[in-house]
A = this chain, B = another copy of it.
């Protein structure tokens, strides 16, 4: 059985193609690691890389990427619309196949220690790898950003998990951790009233009393003259796609508004969709190893 971990580092360069390519090359160089995607945003001046592979190889690729970003990016000159605190800003590890969250936390810790020691970059662990509840949320850690961190890092409660308790002037600080794969899922409604989409989003999402692992907002889709409930499902094992779908349908009924379609944005783990097939078809005792393709990378 091949263990598979996904890694989605965000680094603080979204404009200089040569620098971006040089950094992404660090992932391409590691055999057995598959570069799935990378994209840059000029306004944010930030890039996101997605790659997949066996745990130790993914960890190596992540370290090499962080080292290269520290070499080529100078945070003193960085400007961009997106909050950031380091040359490599955040590095989530995501368990994909035959890997537990605990193993990904272990990888996060090992990488964090190496980055702290060898590159002298302060490292904070977040989400499932967090060392205390106050550090679970990325936004809480990153508050103050690069510029504010020179002071923030001195506070005892913001002592880094690894590396010096002192900002790396050129590279800033880096957040590393573990989270589940996120499913970006939108449900289209047969109305142009964004108020209805928003009202449904408020009922479906966690903060409004809805499903534990759903974030949701109402959005206008102007080119189609409809609206949608745009969701992030942050734990599709515990809050499956079908329960989000059915809850949107249920709430839409009170407005007499039909669900006219849905969309999955970007990548989705096979199991997130197969769990839906299992639910609707009422399949008993199904094992993921019955999926023909799952045999290809055992």
A positions within 8 Å CB-CB of B: 4, 6, 34, 36, 52, 96-97, 181, 188, 241-242, 245, 259-264, 266-270, 273-274, 276-278, 280-286, 290-297
Contact = CB atoms under 8 A, between A and B. Distances in A.
Contacts of A266: 290
Contact of A262 (B96, B274, B283): B283
Copies of this chain in the oligomer: 2
Contacts of A282: 259-262
Given A276-B277, A291-B273, A283 B264 contact: yes
Contacts of A6: 292
B268 A291 contact: yes
B270 A292 contact: yes
Contacts of A269: 291-293
Given A181-B292, A268-B290, A292-B269, A262 B277 contact: no
Given A34-B295, A268-B292, 18 more contacts: A96-B293, A181-B292, A242-B281, A259-B282, A261-B282, A261-B283, A262-B282, A262-B284, A263-B285, A268-B290, A269-B291, A270-B270, A270-B291, A270-B294, A274-B274, A277-B277, A293-B293, A296-B297
